[in-house]
Amino acid sequence: MEIKIAENCGFCFGVKRAVQMALEAADSDRESYTLGPIIHNPQVVGKLADKGVGSVDTLQDIPEGTVIIRSHGVGPAVYEEAKCRDLDVIDATCPHVKKAQRDAASVVEEGMTLVILGEKDHPEVKSINLWSGNKAIIVETEENAKNLPIVEKMGVVVQTTFSQFKFQSIIDILETKSKNLKVFKTICTATQERQSSAVALAKEVDLMIVIGGKNSGNTTRLAEVCRDVGCTTYHIETATELQLAWFKDTQTVGVTAGASTPDWIIKEVIKTMKEFEELLAAESAKAEDLKKGCVVEGTVVQIEDERAYVSIFGLKTEAVLNKSEIAYPAPASAKDVLHDGDEIKAVIMNHIKEDNPVYLSITRLAKDEDWQYVIEAQEKDEPIVCKGIDAIPAGLVVTVKSLRGFIPLSQGDVHFVKSLDSLVNTEFEAKVLEIDEKKNRLVLSRRAVLEVERQAKLEEALKNITVGETYKGIVRKIMPYGAFVDIGGIEGLLHISDISWQKIKKVEDVLTVGQEIEVKLQSFEPETNKLSLSLKALSKSPWDVAEETLHVGDVITGKVVRLVAYGAFVAVNDDIQGLLHISQITKQRNAKVEDYLTRGQDIEVKIISLDKDAKKLGLALTELMESKEVAEEAE
């Protein structure tokens, strides 16, 4: 790429003079201010501010010191006000603007209609008009000129930075508006030279870069005249605005700058363009090496719901990254995952051909890296993070980065579970059981990780357990023969016979999974780490209670619950049954119990014996009867 610089560009005499005067004022003992920006270049104005020369909008903003009249000039009233405020005045008005101001005043003095060719809102045009007593007609376009009335005498003054090409076409129109037309061609020679050089260069190159403030009229017109000859043109203020894409497939680039653009900005722009030239040359060389299967890095430049477009160094056009190739599972929208400016790494999916799109895949690249990740994890027996996405009868489908894996139902937990629904949309650790990259097969085990954690908790917990102590626990699993209860990382068996002093048919009638209970550690086998727990041991046995509340000789009421050949069993409360032997019912030989008692009958009995250890309670009925007969005889 060849870079050509316009023969005439950059600071003109008037601008250079104004900036130099402001710099000299910065070195003086008095505070100095410019009335408005001294020139239309933000970077120069900023540098002056750093040196202590600030910009103000009105003289009222200056308490004392020096006011610098900017290159665009001001009206006569400003000089008068500055004198009244006892301000020193440094007049940096461009000499060409001064001449235009004097010419405008002379046109009015001679009684002619004053026309100013220029931008009505430009400070230079305003200052020229002020010297005419604001009596001028401002004409900016051919259409404005056509709308003017015919007058006897007309004088024309021109903004110093006005387009010389537009100037002549407007003058041709104004010649039809007055027989006595006097033209003061006050367009600065530097402006004419810069516009002519820019046009000549624009005709030779593929692209024009125009450097200068966006608020600079002369720079804006340079960009206009370049575009008018059909050259692609970009107007920038600094090198930071340059874009590499502008220079792709460009052979020659022209550079020009407005009259208010300093040399150091022009040099920075040219330096950046040369760096771009080197990048493009390297990119062109890189493009020759790109092919299907290559891993490339790029920048996301545009995103749609279905795809993103990526700028790849070495490719002339943006590559396409479909949402299905961004991540697994595919996102609902590419916008959910990527953002403009994101740097990505991907693999080229297709053969590169002229005018055909280049397709990329992040998932394909990620899969190669992720298979290596799980292989290494298996070799080191290390857990990996996965996420559950779908629970099925046989187990759980998971993702490991970009890979799809499976956890069998038996490997989902340390306990038997009917489903792994609870793991859907959650992240957890698992170990690799089986890998077959060719068949895209990856089998994992969450149980293996939980077993390690369980064993660690078990070893720690075993240090702190004592047989005979009471612990809080959680019911983890219920079996027909009992329940497994977790007491701080250790699971022990609570046998069905140790749940209650009363006989129970099913464990589920008393306990539920997840229920928190207190249990007593009855025994511990260190060799097998087996723990035996008891719930009923936390309460007194019915026979302990009976020993405290029932005594031999007590007369109590009981209910006949069962008849046998040798007597009857009588329930004295919900937990204790005593034997009423046939010999304690009647003294008749070969008597039948059913001749005296019936099941469910309430009777009064006397306790004749109580053996807590043997769990036997002896009852008598006949003694009670004899006692009653004796009592009746006594009466």
Angstrom distances, CA of residue 112 to CA of 106, 154, 158, 312, 600: 9, 5, 15, 65, 138
Residues 125, 214, 159: CA angle, nearest 5 degrees:
20
Measured CA to CA, the distance from residue 408 to residue 431 in angstroms comes to: 12
| Residue 40 labeled ligand binder | yes
Measured CA to CA, the distance from residue 602 to residue 585 in angstroms comes to: 14
Residue 635 among the catalytic residues: no
Angle between helical axes of 123-131 and 95-109 (0-180°, round to 10): 40
The beta-strand segments (E) located in 12-110 are 32-35, 54-56, 66-69, 88-91
| Residue 9 labeled ligand binder | no
Question: What's 372-422 look like in SS3?
Answer: HHHHHHHHCCCCEEEEEEEEECCEEEEEECCEEEEEEHHHCCCCCCCCCHH
Measured CA to CA, the distance from residue 314 to residue 354 in angstroms comes to: 13
Angstrom distances, CA of residue 610 to CA of 61, 144, 501, 551, 618: 114, 129, 19, 7, 6
| Residue 196 labeled ligand binder | no
| Residue 169 labeled ligand binder | no
| Residue 84 labeled ligand binder | no
Q: Active-site residue among 7, 64, 124, 633?
A: 124
N residues, the chain: 635
| Residue 12 labeled ligand binder | yes
| Residue 55 labeled ligand binder | no
CB 205 within 8 A of CB 253: yes
Measured CA to CA, the distance from residue 477 to residue 474 in angstroms comes to: 9
Task: Report CA Rg, the chain.
Answer: 52
For residue 466, the one-letter residue type is: T
Measured CA to CA, the distance from residue 596 to residue 582 in angstroms comes to: 10
For residue 76, the one-letter residue type is: P
Measured CA to CA, the distance from residue 325 to residue 334 in angstroms comes to: 10
Measured CA to CA, the distance from residue 265 to residue 211 in angstroms comes to: 8
| Residue 218 labeled ligand binder | yes
Which residue ranges are tagged as binding site for isopentenyl diphosphate? 40, 72, 122, 216, 218, 260
Which residue ranges are tagged as binding site for dimethylallyl diphosphate? 40, 72, 122, 216, 218, 260
Catalytically active residues are 124
Which residue ranges are tagged as binding site? 12, 40, 72, 94, 122, 160, 188, 216, 218, 260
